[in-house]
Structure 1
């Protein structure tokens, strides 16, 4: 038999239609971890790969992150046979005299992140994880958590971790200095942008941490905190507003927009829908919320996201260290279990009782100024035309935040070789080279405007080269226009959407002056030149392996050309859809650039995750 890597996925074969199906999937995801628990139960080491933090902290990740699913499962009456192991592991990990002690924290540390799950467990199921322990173990747990909470947490969503730790400490009767908690709650409010949107810290960045962290933890606080009624209600109101926007990051098949960092957390992206249910917040009709939640889990069920033993891999659609972050250890992917929060609810809750409804799919593009995106729903896909965000700190930050277009079905690629211009993928992006070997791409912007008609961004790949990019929705197509002013000759490569490449060159490709297309057994993707200043050659590029998030081998249509010193306008029409639709001859024409720019400047807002400014 030929090995089917998707068969190792614990979700594979599960219909994921009912509460029982979801509970089974949680147990199936956890069971492969059992052989990797240490003798004392305090550590889980899953592979030899490393993150930037120490091995002990990575082992604590493996121990703690499954609790995001196991705790609500138990709170909802689920039968889990290994709470004794978890109790012993918790006691041993926080015992300074035990060989499996987790170590003392005295600065910003990954252990701070993982203690949030411990606080959540102490708040929700203390009778299973805390009260049966002897007094010495209880004292050690209180001492460890009260010690760790007095240090500064990272200035982003991490601030919620101290708050969740405090929920647990308060539940078990420990003394808590509320000033620490109150200060972080106030500082978290400074990240709020309006209309339900946050940024993830004091940086111009809006990504999946907003639904699966800021709102996820906020809704847990709103549900489990006693008192602080005004703030709890604010969290609920913000989440309700946010739901109406974030649904446009999910396609009709359950896939979500592949954008930003930490995508190895996979179906944690569905945690927001589960958190609405946990908070009993009908921000959208229950059938729509349930549909979003269940479709998202099903979307992952046929992907080879696990190793042969069923342990979730670092990666996205398959095991892939290229796209991972420096803080991703082998235990990191188990934040995906955040999706199982609604298992805390009984089967009689309206969320579980609801019949799934189809996704809301608007006919027109939807403008989301806070993340700086225009969303287009196309068959089996959602496309984000993106103004570009700044992330200089993360691996492949430009690919994850600054491309011109992202999708759910077609995701994006990272670059594997920055010194071979001709081998670069550049899907959703344009690459520029002045020596034919090295290249520059957009990393950040000097100015951004977003309007219903399109997005304008001005950016500099070099200090003496200026690119003004216009992104125009024309669903299922979009237009990209680049007005490039350069003092020297530049080579350019621009890519459309990548699709999976078949073996034996079985895909049909078309390469010509001014266009490139790829037909596969499932998809069609094309890029059509609409430039008048220069002619570009089409190419169906075989990308380097393991650079795409969903498929290990891809083809991407590209346009290649050279521009001379001065100002040049490059324009292209791009589209990707399932194979049963798509025709290059229907590509939209180049618009009147002066009229487009005038419209955007008159009607646009200055889009930045640091806050929007309406132009006078």
Structure 2
């Protein structure tokens, strides 16, 4: 009997050492791992609160003329902040505008979310006035260095995404000043890669508001980006291919918006726009599959500090309601929600005053690229584009659904991937 007890005790110790535990402990562990499934409206509330938190420091400070005064200028280790101070504020403004534009374009309502939108929109309109007023402390730099070509392009994209909310309400003097700042960009040139697209969409914006555009910048961007298409939904960012998220940060969404203006102005055949859209839809399939069952995604390539901008292309396809048939809107909502919860709930990505910090998951300044500073980080807002869909859209009302990798890793049927020729 003693031998049996000793053997049982030894077995229990062995089981513990091997990582096993008794039934009650195992049951407690399984209970603690139970997945919480939110409704679409709960997801929407989370998204809108998070985007409001992210965008507020930029927009409200710009409205008050205190953006330069209050925004920290965090730079990569060893870099000198002074040179970044010339460009980082326009970076923050342009990128934030492009991310919030579809959301702010929704009509006003008396919900909590509706009040947040109205507040942000009013502040942003006031901020745009300040941004182009030479006598304002927050007069933004469009005229020195090449970087403003990039961030004016995101501002242009915002105006194109939400003209009735962000462009039409501006007074005539502010519109004239914005136009002059965009025309001043023509004195500068940038890199021989996605920067051609920035120059192109800046001209497309001018064309869209009735100004005479530079046809060379438009045609050069149009032709070179198409030449850099390498197949299966991927563009090369310039002559050399880089495996990173620039197809989502910039190329697909901006090319589609750029081509939309050209089609509307009879400067491009509709089939060229349709091809660009099909390529973005194809790329969005990869984006959806990048999202792991736990909401993580691979941290590879340049500019990984842009965080949720890695999913701008997928977000824009969802906003346009152009998802492939096998990718349901709810599975994109749930996948992106999982990313946001993993990234913003479990990583400390904001400083004590609510500004984004250099890093991917928390403060990791050592991974920042040499061109990155605080303002650059507001690319993260570009992952929130589906907030431009109304709350009664099926993206938000359909029941929760598993995304592709979650199905794959849980022994569920899922759609096999394939290669496309366009």
> TM-score per shorter chain, which class?
0.7 to 0.9
| Cα 1:86/1:34, change in 2 over 3 Å | closer
Question: Which residue of structure 1 lines up, in the alignment, with residue 362 of structure 2?
Answer: 318
| Cα 1:134/1:218, change in 2 over 3 Å | closer
2:321 is the alignment partner of 1:291: no
Give CA deviations for 1:551-581 in whole Å, capped at 9, x if unaligned.
xxxxxxxxxxxxxxxxxxxxxxxxxxxxxxx
| Cα 1:23/1:288, change in 2 over 3 Å | same
Kindly state the Cα deviation for residue 99 of structure 1 after the two structures are TM-superposed: 5.0
Matched residues in 1 for 2:178 and 2:172: separation?
10
Q: Could you tell me which of 250, 255, 260 is aligned with 1:218?
A: 255
Question: Which residue of structure 1 lines up, in the alignment, with residue 389 of structure 2?
Answer: 345
Kindly state the Cα deviation for residue 35 of structure 1 after the two structures are TM-superposed: 6.7
Kindly state the Cα deviation for residue 147 of structure 1 after the two structures are TM-superposed: 2.4
Q: Name the structure with the higher strand share.
A: 1
Alignment check: 8 A CA contact 1:44 1:59 kept: no
Give CA deviations for 1:457-485 in whole Å, capped at 9, x if unaligned.
xxxxxxxxxxxxxxxxxxxxxxxxxxxxx
2:151 is the alignment partner of 1:114: yes
Question: Which residue of structure 1 lines up, in the alignment, with residue 19 of structure 2?
Answer: none
Kindly state the Cα deviation for residue 339 of structure 1 after the two structures are TM-superposed: 0.8
2:290 is the alignment partner of 1:249: yes
TM-score between the two structures when normalised by the length of structure 1: 0.52
Alignment check: 8 A CA contact 1:120 1:167 kept: no
Give CA deviations for 1:171-218 in whole Å, capped at 9, x if unaligned.
322222333212211111122100111122222312111223222323
User: Structure 2: which 5+ residue stretches go unaligned?
Assistant: 1-37, 108-113, 412-422
Kindly state the Cα deviation for residue 42 of structure 1 after the two structures are TM-superposed: 6.5
Question: Which residue of structure 2 lines up, in the alignment, with residue 327 of structure 1?
Answer: 371
Matched residues in 2 for 1:222 and 1:354: separation?
32
Alignment check: 8 A CA contact 1:42 1:63 kept: no
Matched residues in 1 for 2:142 and 2:234: separation?
35
Question: Which residue of structure 2 lines up, in the alignment, with residue 64 of structure 1?
Answer: 94
| Cα 1:232/1:355, change in 2 over 3 Å | farther
Question: Which residue of structure 1 lines up, in the alignment, with residue 74 of structure 2?
Answer: 49
Alignment check: 8 A CA contact 2:190 2:196 kept: yes
Q: Name the structure with the higher helix share.
A: 2
| Cα 1:339/1:329, change in 2 over 3 Å | same
Alignment check: 8 A CA contact 2:59 2:93 kept: no
- Number of equivalent positions: 353
Matched residues in 2 for 1:31 and 1:61: separation?
15
| Cα 1:74/1:35, change in 2 over 3 Å | closer
| Cα 1:136/1:222, change in 2 over 3 Å | closer
| Cα 1:62/1:42, change in 2 over 3 Å | same
| Larger RCO of the pair (alpha carbons < 8 Å, separation 6+) | 2
2:205 is the alignment partner of 1:161: no
TM-score between the two structures when normalised by the length of structure 2: 0.74
Kindly state the Cα deviation for residue 151 of structure 1 after the two structures are TM-superposed: 3.6
Kindly state the Cα deviation for residue 15 of structure 1 after the two structures are TM-superposed: 8.7
2:279 is the alignment partner of 1:263: no
| Cα 1:27/1:363, change in 2 over 3 Å | closer
2:176 is the alignment partner of 1:139: yes
Matched residues in 2 for 1:82 and 1:35: separation?
8
Alignment check: 8 A CA contact 1:291 1:359 kept: yes
Question: Which residue of structure 1 lines up, in the alignment, with residue 216 of structure 2?
Answer: 179
Question: Which residue of structure 2 lines up, in the alignment, with residue 93 of structure 1?
Answer: 131
Question: How well do the aligned residues superpose, as a CA RMSD in angstroms?
Answer: 3.0
2:237 is the alignment partner of 1:200: yes
Alignment check: 8 A CA contact 1:49 1:329 kept: yes
Matched residues in 2 for 1:266 and 1:378: separation?
26
Give CA deviations for 1:196-247 in whole Å, capped at 9, x if unaligned.
1112222231211122322232343466662531221111211232233344
Alignment check: 8 A CA contact 1:275 1:341 kept: yes
Kindly state the Cα deviation for residue 166 of structure 1 after the two structures are TM-superposed: 3.3
Matched residues in 2 for 1:191 and 1:91: separation?
38
Kindly state the Cα deviation for residue 324 of structure 1 after the two structures are TM-superposed: 0.8
Matched residues in 2 for 1:312 and 1:291: separation?
24
User: Structure 1: which 5+ residue stretches go unaligned?
Assistant: 1-13, 365-376, 380-616
